Amino acid sequence: MLTARDFKEIVSGQRKGIGASLLRGTLWLASLGYGIGMSVRNRRYDSQAKPSEKIDVPVISVGNLTLGGTGKTPLVAWLARWFRERDFRVTLISRGYGAEQGTQNDEALELEQLLPDVPHLQNPDRVAAAKVAAEELAAQVLLLDDAFQHRRIARDLDIVLIDATAPFGYGYLFPRGTLREPTTSLRRADVIALTRGDMVSDGQRQAIWEQIRKLDLDATLVEMRHQPSRLLSASSESADIDSLRGQKVLAFCGIGNPSGFRHTLTQAGMEVVELREFDDHYHFDGEDVSNLQQWVAQHDDIAAVICTHKDLVKVGVDRLAEKPLWALIIEANIVDGQAELEQRLEEIVMRIPDDPYADY
């Protein structure tokens, strides 16, 4: 069975040889059927043969064009805070990928710590969850996480994130590449945000924007960085990132873009001795924690162990082999297009119904 790393090496062309080439050919054939199915589905929504369901409050979707991590969580948190700072009630809606019955997945646990005053409903039936949020929680704005392809719910603003390090799925639909749907689908987007632009050259970044503009879009274009803000322990203790500047650290992560995590740690001034990679949404059990303890015990000269916030909520310990375990908290830093994005959000504010609870 292919691991996530194997899959990426094959579809990106990094893995050479006859076997890899034959496998890419097989995956390309499979992608043809996937593409036909996606095209038929989108055509039904575009023609209103299968209309999207309208919710009584404004809906903002944050999603991807490709599989894997593009940095949605920091932007979702930024949007939620933007509305909360203006005293609007926000509810997050997500499918709950990887969550067992009656439990929250890693992203929900992460967002619960980041946004303690924002409810988060996880349900494979996101229409049902949206109705609960609007009718029972009196939400005034709904944020749909990872919902660009979830077209059952009509949305007032469609935000799509593009990862500069792998912007267009290696040029192919899944499973030959990582595109969830063709790049022409970006024409549905109201806002396109390029993430991790600092991890590629200026020439590569400009080439991405040129390819996006060739689609003749009527979308707001935004560029954002993933900016580390602080260190956080499982017991909610915080520390300044500069406390580890110039220090040797071990790191591990179970996310869609491990190289992005390494880059962020390096940019923060840490010397990453070794980065241990796990599959995206990896579930850490007792044996995994024990293995991590043994791994850390082999490195006496490190100052700390660093993971992502999404990993920390599952590992749930403050120390590994007597070394402090910290999560690196990442926030969205919009470096271009923030005024235009906020103008779009102000238009959403104008659609929010009067608050029946305003006088209570």
Binding site members for ATP? 66-73
CB 10 within 8 A of CB 2: yes
CB 270 within 8 A of CB 263: no
**What pairs with residue 274 in β-bridges?**
250
Q: Alpha helix (H) ranges present in the chain? A: 4-11, 18-46, 72-84, 106-114, 126-135, 202-213, 258-267, 286-297, 309-315, 338-351
> How far apart (Å, rounded) are the C-alpha atoms in residues 117 and 91?
9
Q: Is the dihedral of CA 184, 185, 188, 191 positive or negative?
A: negative
Mapped onto helix, strand or coil, the DSSP state of residue 292 is helix
**246: CB partners within 8 A, 6+ apart:** 269, 270, 271
Distances (CA, A) of 86 to 82, 163, 303, 351: 7, 29, 41, 14
CB atoms within 10 A of CB 164: 21
The b-or-e profile of 47-79 (16+ CB within 10 A means b, else e) is eeeeeeeebebbbbbbbbbbbbbbbbbbbbbbb
> How far apart (Å, rounded) are the C-alpha atoms in residues 225 and 208?
16
> How far apart (Å, rounded) are the C-alpha atoms in residues 198 and 264?
10
Name the residue type at position 42.
Answer: N
- Binding-site sequence positions: 66-73
> How far apart (Å, rounded) are the C-alpha atoms in residues 328 and 324?
13
In 3D space, the residue among 311, 326, 308, 312 whose CA is nearest the CA of residue 239 turns out to be: 326
**In the block, which residue shows the tokens 């949404």?**
281
Q: What share of the chain is helix, strand, coil (3-state, %, to 5)?
A: 40, 25, 40
